[in-house]
Structure formats: C-alpha cells, structure tokens
Chains A and B, each alone.
Chain A
C-alpha cells in the first residue's frame, strides 16, 4: 500500500516537525525561493530578462518583516500557545531594543562648559559600549527575559482579562521609564543610535561582497534575519511539540483542568512569559538595529496592538502563522500606499494634512478592521485560510 501522508497513527508522527516528505520538500522549496528573493538583483537567474529580487524599498520592508516575525512568534508563545493575553509586548520589545542599543551602540559625548572651574569637560549624553553582535543580541533577549521574569509573578496570580490589564499598565510604565532614562535612551524626540550589527567585525549594515556575491545592506540584514528566524522558529516549534508545549496548550484550553492533571500553572506560565520576552527582546534589538535609530516614544500601545494583529491575523498558536501575519502586517503600509494610487481609493491622501484620510490613518484603520474581520470570520487567521485552500485542492475536483 502506498504510504498515506494524511494518516497519523502514532504520537511520534503527530508531533513531528514535518509530517511527511512532501511537506519537507515544500519547506525546502520555499526556503530556496525566499533565498532567491533575497539574493534577487545580484543573482542573474535569466540574464537581462527577469529580475526576481525584492529591490530597494521592498527589501528594507522584507528585513523588518523577518525581524518582526521573531517578535510575533514570541507573542504567539504566550498568547497563542499558553493563552495568556499580553498587551505588553511593546514594552519587552523596547527593553530589548534599548539593551541592544546601549551595549552595541556608540557613546555620544558633548563638550560642556563647567561653570565652577571655567573648563570644558566631557559630558556623556548617551551611554554606549560598542560591543559585538554576538554579545548584545543575546543580552537584549536575556534582559527582556529577566524583566519578564520579574513581571511573571504578578501575571500568574491573575487570569484572562485581568492579565490583559496588567500588561497594558506595563506598556505605560515602560513608556515612562524609557522617557526618563535619558542617558540610556536619548530622551523623547531625540532618541539614539541603535546597536551596530557587526558580527566579529563583519558589518551587516554595510554593502559589499560576500563570497564573490555583491550584497547590499538590506540583503545582508535579510539573511541575518532569515538565519535567526529559522533557528528561533525551529526552537519555538520544538517547544510547542514538547512537554512544555503540551502543558501550555492544556493551560490555554482550561487552566483549572490542567492544574488538576498536575501541571504546575505558575511554573509553565512563567516559562511562557520568559521565553516570549526573550523573543521580543531579540526582535526589538534587531528591528531597530536595521533602522539605525530608535526613540523612546515608539514603544507604545499601538506597537503592542500591531503585534497582536500579527498573531491574530496570521494564526493563533502556529509558528508559520506568526510569520505569515508578521509579513502581512509589515507589508500592509506598502499595500495601502499602492492602493491609494487607484482612483477608487482617492479619498486616501498621501500628504499628512490633506484628504479625508491619510495613509497612516488608513493603515491603522486597516489594522483595527482586519483584527475585527479575522476574529469574526476566520479565527484561525491566514493559516486557517491556507489550510482551507489546501484541503480544497487536495480533493479537487471532488471538493464538496
């Protein structure tokens, strides 16, 4: 008998990362496709005929999308897998971003006239240690995880909605801290340079040749992000299918029942929180190191909602869904801009002042609207749509 990939008869194959060779094959195909997309302009696939690459601005957005995917996976661990609503993701992103910036960024000093002595003295405006990526990236994750660990005790005393409130409060407290710690963050409206992505002297933020292939700055960052996303996505996937993941799923589905079965609630909720914060920290540090600058005002509730939208639109409790959601949400502004070009959407104005609705506003309306629409019509998100489409074609032409 031919092997039936849809038939799952034992736990081992149920928990496998790839259920069949077919899915393994398609994963490889997709990976190759993404790499080709990243190499793009540099790789003359069909010389002079097709340019497969994501060029210029699109490439930069793709970089953000890849880094945001890591953050979305992090949020999905706590909100999707463990079912604990966290509105405080922006805070953890911020902690990671500023840790990365302090450790990996450069110090800014200014000559200040000391009135008592009449001499000019060096005054440090922003602290920075110029460390390597290999140090500041894990440190950013660990710092966020540590903060998560501190917050977790509050979190596992609470359930459901009360937890949402506490994490909401966290965003406001974080916002205040970031604004006030000016020697670390540069202060509101000013900001500071973020961590320099240089690994053992190899700069990811500069263009140049690697193994004879010319890679631009966004391309280098893209491949850095892709490698990290692969690793961290795999870790999350493995976490989800291990003992921890099953415990988290049990807590999500019914926490009291889980406790009755002997799952220590406090410990597993803490694990979920800490791991999620770690992902957020890494993602935050990377996101802003790609942009180059960061400012304390940007880690607000809106950023949290953006990540919630990624998780909800992508697909709750799936790693691939988080990535889909992150890519979709990151490309959304671009999509809106493109839509604004049509006469039908003429009410969207490109300038911040004119028209009925500006691009930025349309974007936020779409966030909100998409969250509402997906929750009502497709709670499984893009992942759910993908599964439906796949199942339809599986049995085609007899798909009724």
Chain B
C-alpha cells in the first residue's frame, strides 16, 4: 500500500511537470495552429538560464527565476518572429517539421552551454523531504504541484478576464475574424510563444530541481507529446488530464514492472506514455478532449 501511495505521489508531482510543458504546446497550438516540437529545447534553454544565474553568478534563486522568465519570454518571441512568422498560412505539417529543425538547433546550443555533467539548479528545496505515514514527499514535489496550480489558475483567469486573454481566445476561435475585429493577431502569436517558453522553463526547473539537470531532460520533455495527444491537441483541460494519466501510469509502471513483469526489460516505464497514447488514439483518434475536425470538401 505504501508503495502504491508513494508511486501515486511521485506520479502527481511528475504530472505537474508534464502539465507545464503540455500547456505550452496546447496554448501555441490553439492560438497559432502550430505544433511546437521545439518545446523540449525551450525547456533546456530556459532551465539553463535559471541555473546559470543561480549557481554561476550565485544570485538568489527567486531573482534568477525572474530573470530566466524574462529571457525565456524574449526567446519565445524571437523564435516566433524569425522562424514561425514567415510560415503563416503554410501547411501545418511543414510548420511542424520546421519546429523539429528548430528544436535540433536550440537543443545543441543549450547542451553546449550546459556541458556534459549534471548541473545543480541552485534551488532552495534540494533533496529535503518530509515523511508522512511512510510516504516520502520531497519539498520540490510540493513546490511543483503548488506552482502548477498557481500558474494554471493565473492562466485561466488571464484567458477569462483580461482583454488580451479575450483576444487570444478570439484568435484561437477564428484567426481571420479576430483580425477583422481589430485584434492584433501578431501580438497574440508572440504572447503565446512567450507563455509557452515560460511554462517550459518552469517545467525544466522542476525537472532539474534537487536531482540536477542534464541532457536527459530533453527526453523527459518529449513525453509531454503523448500527454497532449492523449488529452487532445487543443484542450487545456485535456493537457491536465493527460498529464495525470501519463505520469501516474509511468510511475506505477516504474514501481511494479520490475517486480511483476521483468521480462519487459529495463526502463520500460519510459515507454508507457507512448503505449498509453497508442491505445487512446486507437479508441479516440482526436484524444480524450480534442475537438473532432469537421471539414468540408
């Protein structure tokens, strides 16, 4: 039972990280119809800045985080402006492949800055944990969950109540109509990339907190793809639900598979997100909450 609960706790905190990365995907997809394969790269780069300011320059973690957020949003805007803007109106597939190319370039750049060894984030939580009825809950896990709840709440409030949020929703609904209503669609595009980059940064920070950040973070970030597919590409609720499903099944597999199904091999839990994705797509081709495309010939 403790084992199960422990897996559950780990799963929920992992879900928080996946949710952060997946939300970035969904926001970009909803507002710009671009599938952003470059999210793992943005994650690495963002997390690198935070760890650079926090450990190399030795600033307070909060200030480092703030500075990282500023830099990440600037990166997001620059990336959108330089490479995605010329592709407006091009086939979705071409743009998706373009972001793969982008991912390669930024990842190499970030990894080169980062070096080969595992880098500490300089976060205040370290590896401290509290024990609660035999279950270990790390501070960083609590921090991740709290941050996600806060960020998601903020985002939802932003979309619901602010003028810009309304503009973003309108753009997601219909780009051309939004344009005719005087909404600056280009600002919406830039803003959604900035938001996605910041969300990725937070994902990276929590992936690296305590245990440290290395190049395997990019692989973990890629698992946000099954998350969005399971939830449906254009659903924020879907991203959250998908994150929970993926993370908990991954953690359960990591806990029980070595005991009960050892023949599946080492590191099988890394595969679980993709297998879950296969099953979900076979049953529901547009994910759990995705809108079914209705097309006219």
Q: Indicate whether A379 reaches chain B with its CB closer than 8 angstroms.
A: yes
B265/A176 in contact, CB under 8 A: yes
Q: Which of A13-21, A236-244, A362-370 contacts B (4 or more CB under 8 A)?
A: A362-370
Within 8 A of A (CB), among B270-289: 270-271, 274-275, 277-278, 281-282, 285-287
* Tier of interface size on chain B: 35 or more
Complex A-B: 28 CB contacts under 8 Å: A154-B278, A154-B281, A154-B282, A157-B282, A160-B93, A162-B229, A165-B226, A165-B277, A166-B277, A169-B274, A169-B277, A172-B271, A173-B274, A176-B271, A179-B267, A180-B264, A180-B266, A256-B297, A305-B100, A305-B101, A309-B101, A356-B112, A357-B112, A368-B102, A368-B108, A371-B98, A375-B101, A379-B90
B104/A305 in contact, CB under 8 A: yes
A254 is an interface residue with CB less than 8 A from chain B: yes
- In whole angstroms, how far apart are the Cα atoms of A372 and B83 in the complex? 7
In chain A between 349 and 378, which residues have their CB closer than 8 angstroms to a CB of chain B?
356-357, 361, 364-365, 367-372, 375-376
| A169-B105 contact given A158-B285, A179-B265, CB 8 Å threshold | no
Contacting pair A158 B96 (CB below 8 A) = no
User: Within 8 Å CB of B87, what residues of A?
Assistant: 375-376
Is B93 within 8 A of A361, CB to CB? Answer: no
Complex interface: chain B residues within 8 A of A77 (CB): none
- In the bound assembly, the distance between CA atoms of A85 and B104 in angstroms comes to 18
Q: How far is the CB of B184 from chain A (nearest CB, A)?
A: 23
Q: Nearest Cβ in chain B — how far from A373, in angstroms? A: 9
CB-CB under 8 A from B268, the residues of chain A are 176
Q: Is B251 an interface residue (CB 8 A)?
A: no
- Specify which of A166, A312, A357, A368 is in contact with B104 (CB 8 Å cutoff): A368
Q: A183: shortest Cβ distance to chain B, in Å?
A: 13
Question: Main SS of the interface on chain B?
Answer: helix
Contacts of B92 in A (CB 8 A): 160-161
On whether A365 and B100 interact (CB within 8 A), knowing A161-B35, A169-B278, the answer reads no
A389 within 8 A of B: no
Chain A interface (Cβ < 8 Å from any Cβ of B): 83, 85, 154, 157-162, 164-166, 168-169, 172-173, 176, 179-180, 254, 256-257, 260, 305, 308-309, 312, 356-357, 361, 364-365, 367-372, 375-376, 379
Query: Which residues does chain B contribute within 8 Å of A83, judged by CB atoms?
Result: 93
Closest CB in chain B relative to A179 CB, distance in Å: 7
B118 within 8 A of A: no
Nearest CB of B to A359, in Å: 12
New A-B contacts (9) at CB < 8 Å, excluding given A157-B282, A180-B264, A365-B104: A85-B96, A160-B92, A161-B233, A164-B93, A309-B101, A365-B105, A368-B102, A369-B105, A375-B98
Residues of A within 8 A of B278 (CB): 154, 166, 169
Q: How far is the CB of B115 from chain A (nearest CB, A)?
A: 10
> Are A372's CB and B285's CB within 8 A?
no
B225: chain A residues within 8 A (beta carbon): 165, 168
Partner of A260, one of B105, B108, B229, B297: B297
Chain A CB count within 10 A is highest, among B104, B108, B286, B295, for B104
A368 touches B105 (CB 8 A): yes
Q: Does B97 contact A (CB under 8 A)?
A: yes
Give the residue name and chain of the A residue nearest to B105 (CB). A368
Contacts of B226 in A (CB 8 A): 165, 169
- Evaluate whether A369 and B297 lie within 8 angstroms (CB atoms) in the complex, with A85-B93, A154-B278, A176-B271 already known: no
Taking chain A's interface residues, is the majority helix, strand, or loop, or is none over half, making it mixed? helix
Q: CA–CA, A369 to B94, complex, Å?
A: 14
**A360: nearest residue on chain B (CB-CB)?**
B108
Docked complex Cα distance between A224 and B179 (Å): 58
Q: Is the CB of A372 within 8 A of B265?
A: no
Interfacial chain A residues near B98, Cβ < 8 Å: 371-372, 375-376
How far is A173 from B102 in the complex, measured between Cα atoms in Å? Answer: 24
Query: Is residue B133 contacting chain A, with contact meaning CB distance below 8 A?
Result: no
Chain B 85-127 interface 0/1 with A at a Cβ cutoff of 8 Å (1 = within) = 0110010111111101111110011001000000000000000
Chain A residues lying within 8 Å of B112, measured Cβ to Cβ, are: 356-357, 361
Could you tell me if B101 and A368 are in contact, using CB atoms closer than 8 angstroms? yes
- Neighbour of B101 across the interface among A159, A165, A256, A367, CB < 8 A: A367
Given the interface pairs A162-B286, A173-B275, A176-B265, the reply to whether A375 lies near B97 with Cβ below 8 Å is yes
From the candidates A166, A257, A372, name the one contacting B102 in the complex (CB within 8 A). A372
Closest beta carbon of chain B to A308's beta carbon, Å? 6
